[in-house]
Structure 1
Amino acid sequence: MSTNIPSITMTIENYYLLLLSLCCTLVVAQLFVKEKKAAHLLFALVCGSIALATTKKLTQDSLNGYQYLIGMGACVTCNGFWLLARALFREKHAILKRHVVFAIAIAALVIWRQGYLFIDSQLHMNARGFFEWLNIAAYELTLLLSSSVLMLAFWEGCRGFSQSQGQEKAQRVLFLSAYFICVAGTKLIENRFADNREVQEWAVTSAAILIILTAQVLLYWRFSSQRTSTSIRCVESNEPTQTEDDIALQQQVEHFLIEQKGFLKEGLKVADLAQQFNEPEYKISRVIRQNLQARNFSQLVNELRVEHAKVLLQDPAKQHWPVLVVGLESGFASVGPFTRAFKIATGTTPNQFRKQNSQTQVLREAQE
């Protein structure tokens, strides 16, 4: 006696349902995150947008054009993922007003396109002239800007890669690897199977599943490790280690770095201070973390150098100095590390800071 067991075939519709279920699950999962960050909100928006895009595909043959209204909600995909990448890999000034405006502009173009398609499906406008040109222009501009933010998101993983260490470097490798597989893989399949729409859909859906799973892993990995580091620092700060020797060493470090402007010495390391004060390196690092409230020695030195550079950039007598010279005079070895440290601390590049200061100075003089 044989029993017929029905086989389950993974069709593209079933694959869509898998993606939809995954997105909905991950959106709900963000509700249970105790210490929510901007990255968690952005990830939920991206997952929700992908879920709506998938729902549109599943209902395109049954809603008689109303699927385009669902498609309006699928406006936070590439642009949202770019903002998510910034929130993941930038500690300061991750998302500013201009970034939000740029993302909203892309979302508005998507909404316009879907709205136009909905109206056309209901009224059969057969638009010509200006409206047809406007629709085509919006579509082409959306493709251009979406491609741009895809590259910008990839750049967020590359930015600061050489300076990263340990877990952070591993996280960046995971992000860049998954991102490259998704983008390059879908493009290759799109070219290889240009006449097979279903194969392309399989590739795009697989890429979406891979990238959102990678993003969820990174969210947990990065922010759980940050909480662990914070807990360790709290335990360290509560330990009764503030002795007279520590206070004296703090004064020595402050005197050397601030009063003697030791931070201007290129290539300055903790070992240099340890040798100068005849103290172990761990004591210098502990004083910097606990007494001077800095994350590490490099952060403290870079902050002092950036403050010095800001003074030089605002000095009217030094407006002719190139940014490279300002960086070298502030203790940086080259213009690259100077620009990166300056932007992390202020949110602007040295050139932008100088221009903003010059404009402010002109306005003040005009008011006087």
Structure 2
Amino acid sequence: MLAQVYFKPVRTEHILTAIFCGSLAMVALQVLTTASGSTAAYVFALGTCATCNVIWLIARALFRGANALSAKHYLLAASIAGLVIVNRSAELLISVEWLNSREIAWLTGSVSEITRLLSSTILALAFWEPLRGFSTAGNTAKRQRFLFASIFFVGVFSCTVITEGLLTEAARQQIRPWLVVISALAIVITTFIILLAQHKQRQNNAQPVKRPASLSEDDLLLARQIEHLMEYEKLYLNHELKTIDIANALNVSEYKVGRVIRSLSNAANVNQFINRYRIAHAKQLLTAQECQHWTILVISLECGFASLAPFNRAFKASEGCTPNQYRQQKIPQAQV
């Protein structure tokens, strides 16, 4: 958790990872104190409300880039945390004999079932995040996605299917706590490795840009940040992307963003600059074997265009042919 201090500037995924690590520490303390029958175990259990729900948020932030999280995602995660807290609070009050377990059995049973259902769904979504968009990701991003998905699957599979389906009750009590600890540690280390790799990539940031004498060092830094938003966080996939969105993401003025883009990219305007990334992405999808069944409309939407007509116009202006013609020209070469 303290390792998150290393990252400057602090991003959403860094904060979420620190919360996740803190909640895992509560899980470990709960496991260690449960055998003694201490009330402390129930107190520590209250802090275990930020595990599966927060790792889902982390996965979205890691693999979807900018604007990956909105109020509805935080609300869902908070709802699961609330259910866990309600259930753990009831267990605590029962343990100190402030509540009768029989009188609230209907409540604890209902909350437990809802929590189990939502937690299972969230775990599935967390596993899906690195797989989503895997085929069109770069080589570095693919390795990160594969690493996260593999470790996550092995960890969850070990703590659920193996412990519940293959072990006896006696063996389960002995082995499950260790499997939980090892799996949680593996997921934390994997997450930190990916965070570190992405942090390094943001620092090194893409290819060097041309440096007109009229631009200052601040402008060149801004240019690298804009390139990162496009190349790594794929902001161009948002069909409503405008200059103000880029400016807000970097906390600078629209005028400065527009001036830097026009100076360094030779684009007539910001929209043309954004469309260059969209068309480059479209060219990858048009020739990808796994996307051959996709229509041109689907590809246009996947690349960030709002509809087919603007996509066709921008593509033809850039490549001198329509997307369909480009696909017909390139597919035979890709299959050789």
Give the TM-score range, shorter chain.
0.5 to 0.7
Once the two structures are TM-superposed, the CA of residue 177 in structure 1 deviates from its matched residue by 1.4
> What is the letter of the counterpart of residue 132 of structure 2?
R
Deviations 1:96-133 (A, max 9, x none): 0000000000000110111000000001643335x211
**Corresponding letter in the other structure for 1:56:** Q
Q: Which residue of 2 aligns with 1:298?
A: 277
Alpha-carbon distance in structure 2 between the residues aligned to 1:179 and 1:288: 44
Unaligned runs of 5+ in 1: 1-26, 243-285, 304-330, 346-368
The AA in structure 1 aligned to 2:15 is: L
What's 1:183 paired with?
156
Please tell me whether residue 140 in structure 1 is matched to residue 103 in structure 2.
no
Tell me, yes or no, if the aligned pair for 2:278 and 2:304 is still in contact at 8 Å.
no
Q: Could you say if the C-alpha distance between residues 36 and 169 of structure 1 is closer, same or farther in structure 2, counting changes exceeding 3 Å? A: same
Q: Deviations over 1:311-350 (max 9, x none)?
A: xxxxxxxxxxxxxxxxxxxx97143x4454459x9xxxxx
Determine if the alignment matches structure 1 residue 216 to structure 2 residue 192.
yes
Structure 2 runs not aligned, ≥5 long: 216-260, 283-293, 307-336
Amino acid at match of 1:181: V
- With over 3 angstroms needed to count, the CA separation of the structure-2 counterparts of 1:145 and 1:194, relative to structure 1, is farther
Q: Quick one: which amino acid aligns to residue 132 of structure 1?
A: A
1:27-76 Cα offsets, whole Å, 9 max, x none, are 11112322211110010000000001111222234573232122111111
* Residue 95 (structure 1) aligned with residue 69 (structure 2): yes
Listed as ranges, the matches of 1:220-231 within 5 Å are 220-229=196-205
Equivalent residue in structure 2 for 1:333, among 296, 302, 320: 296
CA contact (8 A) 1:30 1:41 kept: yes
Contact 2:26 2:47 in 1 (8 A): yes
TM-score (norm 2): 0.65
TM-superposed deviation, 1:85: 0.3
Distance (Å, rounded) in 1 between the aligned partners of 2:263 and 2:280 = 10
Aligned length: 243
After TM superposition, the structure 1 = structure 2 runs for residues 1-368 of structure 1, keeping only pairs within 5 Å, are 27-62=1-36, 64-123=38-97, 125-129=99-103, 131-190=104-163, 191-195=165-169, 196=171, 197-229=173-205, 232-233=207-208, 236-239=209-212, 290-292=265-267, 294=273, 297-299=276-278, 333-335=296-298, 337-342=299-304
Q: 2:237 maps to which residue?
A: none
Residue aligned with 1:93, SS: coil
Structure 2 distance, partners of 1:287, 1:139, is 56
Amino acid at match of 1:164: A
Q: Name the structure 1 match of 2:322.
A: none
CA deviation string 1:159-204 (max 9, x = no partner): 1101112211111111111112112233332111141211122222
| Aligned equivalents of 2:106, 2:196: Cα separation in 1 | 45
Tell me the secondary structure at the aligned position of residue 47 of structure 2: coil
* Secondary structure of 2:48 counterpart: coil
Deviation track 1:276-313 (CA, whole Å, cap 9, x = no partner) reads xxxxxxxxxx999723364783336789xxxxxxxxxx
Residues in 2 aligned to 1:164 and 1:301: alpha-carbon distance in whole angstroms = 13
Aligned partners of 1:63 and 1:110: how far apart in 2?
20
* AA aligned opposite 1:151: A
Counterpart of 2:202, as a letter, is Q
Partner of 1:54, secondary structure, is helix
CA pair 287-144 structure 1, distance change in 2 beyond 3 A: same
Larger radius of gyration: 1
Q: Could you say if the C-alpha distance between residues 299 and 91 of structure 1 is closer, same or farther in structure 2, counting changes exceeding 3 Å?
A: farther
Over aligned residue pairs, what C-alpha RMSD do you find?
Answer: 3.0
User: Distance in 2 between the 1:238 and 1:223 partners?
Assistant: 24
Counterpart position of 2:287: none
CA distance in 2 between counterparts of 1:298 and 1:66 reads 55
Report if aligned partners of 1:59, 1:67 keep a CA contact under 8 Å in 2.
yes
Q: Normalising to structure 1: TM-score of the pair?
A: 0.60
CA distance in 2, matches of 1:338, 1:213: 37
CA distance in 1 between partners of 2:24 and 2:279 (Å):
42
CA distance in 2, matches of 1:50, 1:182: 14
Please give the alpha-carbon distance, in whole angstroms, between the structure 2 residues aligned to 1:136 and 1:238: 65
Provide the residue aligned with 1:261 in structure 2.
none
